[in-house]
Structure 1
Amino acid sequence: MKNYIAAEYIKGKRSFSHFFFMWFPLMVVLICIPFSQFMYFDINFFVPLIYNWWPTLFLPIGLAVLGYQSIQREKETHTQNYYYLLNQNMFWKTKLITLATYSLTANILIALLTIILEFIMYDSSNIIITNVLLASLVLWITTLFIIPLSILLAQLTTPILSIIVNLFGIVTGIFTAVGNHWYISPWGWSLRLITPIIKTNPNGTLLQENDPLNSTSIVYPGLGLALLIFIILYISVPLILSRTRESE
């Protein structure tokens, strides 16, 4: 698998794959600094804004585009004609592992940038570190399912359809995240589970202490559900795509 991962990394050079995990977090952080200061007139909104915008838009869209580009790149270079020469199950699993690593790197980077800037802009009493790290870990786990789903849709249909489906999912996730049936849309899991951790409502406002959403009781069940869905997709998607190619 080491050679497969190296090949995926080389194919992703000078593409959105590298832009995503390096520059997307930096861009989000730089946007949230002036917004917290000049739109909300309170620099203490910096962290809530980051952990609202990142899971609401930038992270899921970034992952959807990663999946789109990974398949589109294969189609444009016609390398899919040579899949039969490879261990296809390993080939597809490598794609999932590589993109999951990009996502982990991006979430780590945005957490580190957030913590560093907290020390620069916040009073010492307002700095939160553990919650930021936990929120980033939760965001990584709860959005992993987007990667195999996007790969599956892009390969079996057209790459652009994976973007459309994810956009629709993001919209539904925003509306379901605050309700009792938050689990209906997987795209809303990330927003819902970090709410009691980062103390920010899915709509970007600060969470009140007596708010019903301020309960960590759903965090572990939600993480378990997210991991279960990803494991199912991680196992099934490579098998489906391998057999689809063999039947052509």
Structure 2
Amino acid sequence: MTLVRAFDSERIKYRRTFTHWLVALGPVGLVLSYAMVGLLGESETTWPLFLGVVYNWWPILWVPMGAALLAALAAWYEKRAGAWVLLRARPQPPAVLFGAKLLVLALHTLLSTAILAATVAVVGAVVIGAPIPLDTLLLGAFLPWIAALPILVIQLWVATAGGFGASVVVGVVGFISGALTAESSDLVHFVPWAWPIRVVIPIIGIHANGVPLGSGDPLWDSSIVPVILGLALIVAAALLAAGSLWFSRKEVR
């Protein structure tokens, strides 16, 4: 019940904030921008092309930068209001407060992912007209969210420790490192920012650079997907435990 109360208290803080706009405008803007390009282009837009472009850019750009911005805003709201000291003065364990913040951040990104999937379905149905490939649409949207859970913990930890700027810097570094290592069999397991990209590649059949996979390309092999998802859950749990311990010992000013 302590976590539930902390979650409710945390959720209320985001009323009338920019966070809700960011959660909604990120996915809607991405989908509509490509839809406009597709409508103005000379070539016919198909579901594989539409999903390939949107679901390629989503885990590469929005997942790392969206997590960075949302975590940065969460820490900034607390610092601006001088609420860190008040939070720690409450009888709730600091680890619970950290967990509640992460839970709200995870739900915000999940909501953003759901908005992405819904917008893709509606816009695609209007622009393309063909039956919606629900399996690809849903897997391509939600598997990267699971794979990105460690990123959320890292970004919340960095934002809490270093502030808004530090969170954005780490997000940019993660964005670059993820794009560069997503297809590396040697490095992909060690770079959490590469995981959302890697799990979606065999689903949409697109390289991280936007080029379609050729027939027989080893990146079509989807056996790595459950491995990465399992790794993401384990790493996220470990980081949450470490982050909660750090937050419990943190001196708040």
After TM superposition, the score normalised by the length of structure 2 is 0.90
Rate the CA distance shift 1:36–1:177 in 2: closer, same or farther, 3 A. Answer: farther
* Alignment-derived partner of residue 242 in structure 2: 236
Deviations 1:107-147 (A, max 9, x none): 1121122122232222536x411111012221111111122
- AA paired with 1:48? G
- Give the unaligned 5+ runs of structure 1: none
What's the CA shift for 1:184? 2.9
The correspondence for 2:177, drawn from 155, 166, 172, is 172
SS in 2 for 1:73: helix
Rate the CA distance shift 1:68–1:231 in 2: closer, same or farther, 3 A. Answer: same
Mapped partners of 1:170, 1:39: distance in 2: 28
How high is the sequence identity, in percent, across the aligned residues? Answer: 27
The farther-off stretch of 50-59 and 11-20 is 11-20
- Give the unaligned 5+ runs of structure 2: none
- AA paired with 1:26? V
Rate the CA distance shift 1:36–1:203 in 2: closer, same or farther, 3 A. Answer: farther
Mapped partners of 1:3, 1:40: distance in 2: 54
SS in 2 for 1:145: helix
Mapped partners of 1:72, 1:39: distance in 2: 41
Note if contact 2:39-2:127 (Cα within 8 Å) is conserved in structure 1. Answer: no
Pairwise CA RMSD? 1.9
* Alignment-derived partner of residue 78 in structure 2: 74
* Alignment-derived partner of residue 186 in structure 1: 192
Note if contact 2:35-2:127 (Cα within 8 Å) is conserved in structure 1. Answer: no
* Alignment-derived partner of residue 149 in structure 2: 144
What's the CA shift for 1:211? 1.5
SS in 2 for 1:216: coil
* Alignment-derived partner of residue 107 in structure 1: 113
Mapped partners of 1:77, 1:85: distance in 2: 16
What's the CA shift for 1:78? 0.8
* Alignment-derived partner of residue 41 in structure 1: 43
Mapped partners of 1:17, 1:194: distance in 2: 26
Rate the CA distance shift 1:229–1:94 in 2: closer, same or farther, 3 A. Answer: same
SS in 2 for 1:124: coil
Displaced runs of 4+ in structure 1, greater than 3 A? 36-42
After TM superposition, the score normalised by the length of structure 1 is 0.91
SS in 1 for 2:251: helix
* Alignment-derived partner of residue 34 in structure 2: 32
- AA paired with 1:143? A
What's the CA shift for 1:38? 4.2
What's the CA shift for 1:40? 7.7
Rate the CA distance shift 1:193–1:38 in 2: closer, same or farther, 3 A. Answer: same
